[in-house]
Structure 1
Amino acid sequence: MIYLLTFFAVLILVDMADKVEDKKIRWLLLFVSLALLSGVAGVRATSIGSDVDAYQKPLFKIAKEYTSIFDYLSNRTVRRFEIGYTLITYLASRIGDIHVLFFINEAIIVFFTFKAIWHYRQYVSVQLSTACFLFVYYLRGYDIVRQSMAMAALLYMVTLIEEKKYLNAVLIQIIAILLHKSAVVGIGMAFLYFIADSYLERVKKYLIIIISIAIYTISTNYRQIFLKLNDVFPGFLNKYLVSKKLFWASKEGFYESKFMYIFSAIFILALALVMKKHINIYKYYFFLYMMLLAMIGALIGGQGHYAYRVFLFPEAYSIFVFPNMCKLISNDGKSQFIGRVMMYAGLLFYWYFVFVLKNQGEVYPFVMG
């Protein structure tokens, strides 16, 4: 219940911030929203979030034992993780207990995500984008912490590229990599953005065809692809697959992947039917690239673990795509209201199914620490 109360309180605050004209009040409302989400994450018990025992608690314990930051960074266990995250852990250990670390982790995620949401507000409803973030991605920040921080940073990085603040974008890209090495895919995302922003219409369309072919190839020949990769890179199957067998890890994993595949297809349908009419053409192509890549991730999600997580970066753009599905109905007030109700119902169902019934990331129920 604490999660839902927090979500709807934040949605009210964000909606007020979007409508108020006074900038000081607007930023105050957004700051309170950030503090509320970070505060809930900060006061949770250490049993919430599977990555807490995996590396957050061990790193924090080590940080507490060292007075010298250089000795801390030289520790064998600490060196296994990205220096950006280990420095954040050390900073939190100087301030207080592990709950301070939880707070800082979530504050970084929410800050970068809010910056991106606010950037796209003229194309996508701020409230609906925030709802998508809260119900789909917020609790992932309790589990896959480092990657969630990097994902949020890359969302913000692309907005800086759009504003032609290239030096700032490079800085955020570096920060993202220092939080999680997989964020190096941000370089590819930037490349796709420049293609989408170019005047080379043929290149844009050919790239869509290439990605679509990749989706079809992976969906029909994934077993052969994994076998070939294992020939080229011995040990690939052991490292990157949930199961050593070239079948879905389980029936549950198979249906979950197909479930995500269907949702990805719906996102692309929303793009094709709606977003091209409502947003700049380069944003349309860029979002389309991201959703097509998300489909590839959904297809291999039941088989490849680490490989799939790379595709979480483009998948995050669903928070800007899914809200536009409301426009599939109509733009009049009554139809828009019905569309919003349907979207919130869908998000609630997803949240309940993934985080309550399946307890993904071990984040439910909420317990205070």
Structure 2
Amino acid sequence: MLIYIIIFALSTLFFYKASRISDTKQRWLLVLLAILPVALIAGVRDDCIGTDVLVYGKDCFLDVYQSRWYSEIDLVWMIRMEPGYLLLNYVVSRFTGSYNVFFGVLMAVQMFFVMKALLVFRNRMPVWLALLVYYFSYYNISLNQMRQSAACAIVLFACTYAYKRKLLPFLIVVAFACTFHISAFVAFAIYPLFIFLRRTQSYKMMWSMVIMGIVMALLVQKSVDVVLATMGLNADYAHYFKDSTHGFFITKFLITLPMPIIFFCYRKRFFRKETIYLAFSLIVMVVATQARELIGNDAERIMNYFVITQIFALPFVCAHLNKTWQKVVGTLGMCFYVAYWYYMFIYNGYHDTFPYTSIILKQWL
């Protein structure tokens, strides 16, 4: 656990410095230094860290390494893997046969797009705080869902073009994201959705969406039975708090509520054209916790493209408070995200990224 916290802190420190420097060359040098720690840890990890490493990550790279030309890559991988992801495998494999190097490069690509997206707003909010939120929310997931995490990071950058209302760059970047994971095609809907929400500017509609999502989620999860179980009236339902399926989703649902509640309690101050999509993102984040139960197994992963912009919520709130409240809300907000990270990835072992092990790291040390 400690190694994650150390690399998150180190990376965020460099990025904090980068976000406050006006010189472009110095800024990107610091961004590179911010990327290195998280890319290094992703690269040197054992192949048991992240389920998908053994599902496709390791074997795909080793097979590509044995191919002389891109066209000679096994047809199975050509059909199963997206071209952008395969091409990155191929390029890295021309320099090394180590899949660990590839995992590090893939993480570096992912974080490049995340940090590039954050820097767009460096003069409007403490973007280093958004990076911390990203690490505690998505970094461990990216050690498992490698292709989709890269696609989500690219879509996050595409959202900056939606914010600026630049359609063509938005379409190009989303198309690029699709070359890492085909599910990113749903992100094409972000631009028209962004325009629609900016025009409506109806927080009543947002509240209606929130209430409907909450009611549906709680009904599906049989909340009455859960309450009975906690009261000891029916032990048969106790697994709703303990299992990694039902109880996991209920707890995850409850954990996601604080930030949307804060955001909407101060809606008169925060609710504006520029942040309407952020409000929508927070709504989707809450509903997405029940998506597997409501829609299907892949629903939550697809909704991630609409949820990822929620990393801007805490820094945006802090940017519109006085210095005293910035510290209070910022500290409490990060405590919430750290608690979320601990419960999900450390306590529950979500995505199989804890405990972290690395034979390579042990050899270096």
Taking structure 1 as the reference length, the TM-score comes to: 0.82
Residue 283 (structure 1) aligned with residue 274 (structure 2)? yes
Q: Matched residues, percent identical?
A: 22
Counterpart of 2:236? Answer: none
In the TM superposition, 1:147-158 aligns within 5 A as 147-158=148-159
Counterpart of 1:346? Answer: 336
The alignment of Structure 1 onto Structure 2 pairs a total of residues equal to: 340
Residue 256 (structure 1) aligned with residue 257 (structure 2)? no
Counterpart of 1:227? Answer: none
In the TM superposition, 1:122-271 aligns within 5 A as 122-198=123-199, 200-201=200-201, 204=202, 208=206, 211-212=209-210, 215=213, 218-219=216-217, 222=220, 251-271=243-263
What one-letter code is carried by the residue in structure 1 that aligns with 2:26? I
Counterpart of 1:93? Answer: 93
Q: 1:348 to 1:213 in 2, by over 3 A?
A: closer
Q: Distance in 2 between matches of 1:176 and 1:60?
A: 20
What one-letter code is carried by the residue in structure 2 that aligns with 1:127? W
Residue 364 (structure 1) aligned with residue 354 (structure 2)? yes
Q: Is the 1:270–1:324 Cα contact (8 Å) retained in structure 2?
A: no
What one-letter code is carried by the residue in structure 2 that aligns with 1:215? G
Once the two structures are superposed, residues 295-321 of structure 1 have per-residue CA deviations (whole angstroms, 9 ceiling, x without a partner) of 221123457321221122222122111
Kindly state the Cα deviation for residue 345 of structure 1 after the two structures are TM-superposed. 2.5
Q: Is the 1:275–1:284 Cα contact (8 Å) retained in structure 2?
A: no
Kindly state the Cα deviation for residue 216 of structure 1 after the two structures are TM-superposed. 5.1
Q: Is the 2:241–2:247 Cα contact (8 Å) retained in structure 1?
A: no
Please state whether the residue corresponding to 1:120 is helix, strand or coil: coil
Once the two structures are superposed, residues 272-302 of structure 1 have per-residue CA deviations (whole angstroms, 9 ceiling, x without a partner) of 23465257x2232111222222222112345
Counterpart of 2:79? Answer: 79
Kindly state the Cα deviation for residue 146 of structure 1 after the two structures are TM-superposed. 0.8
Q: Is the 1:135–1:348 Cα contact (8 Å) retained in structure 2?
A: yes
Once the two structures are superposed, residues 62-106 of structure 1 have per-residue CA deviations (whole angstroms, 9 ceiling, x without a partner) of 11221121121x512431122221221122222211012101211
Q: Is the 1:157–1:173 Cα contact (8 Å) retained in structure 2?
A: yes
Q: Is the 1:13–1:29 Cα contact (8 Å) retained in structure 2?
A: yes
Please state whether the residue corresponding to 1:356 is helix, strand or coil: helix
Q: Which of residues 323, 327, 334 is equivalent to 1:337?
A: 327
Counterpart of 2:283? Answer: 292
Q: Which of residues 286, 290, 304 is equivalent to 1:312?
A: 304
Counterpart of 1:4? Answer: 5
Q: What are structure 1's unaligned runs of at least 5 residues?
A: 224-246
Counterpart of 1:240? Answer: none
Q: Distance in 1 between matches of 2:6 and 2:141?
A: 18
Q: Distance in 1 between matches of 2:209 and 2:270?
A: 24
- RMSD in angstroms over aligned alpha carbons? 2.8
What one-letter code is carried by the residue in structure 2 that aligns with 1:312? N
Of 265-274 and 59-68, more deviation after overlay is shown by: 265-274
Q: 1:250 to 1:351 in 2, by over 3 A?
A: closer
Q: 1:167 to 1:133 in 2, by over 3 A?
A: same
Taking structure 2 as the reference length, the TM-score comes to: 0.83
Please state whether the residue corresponding to 1:176 is helix, strand or coil: helix
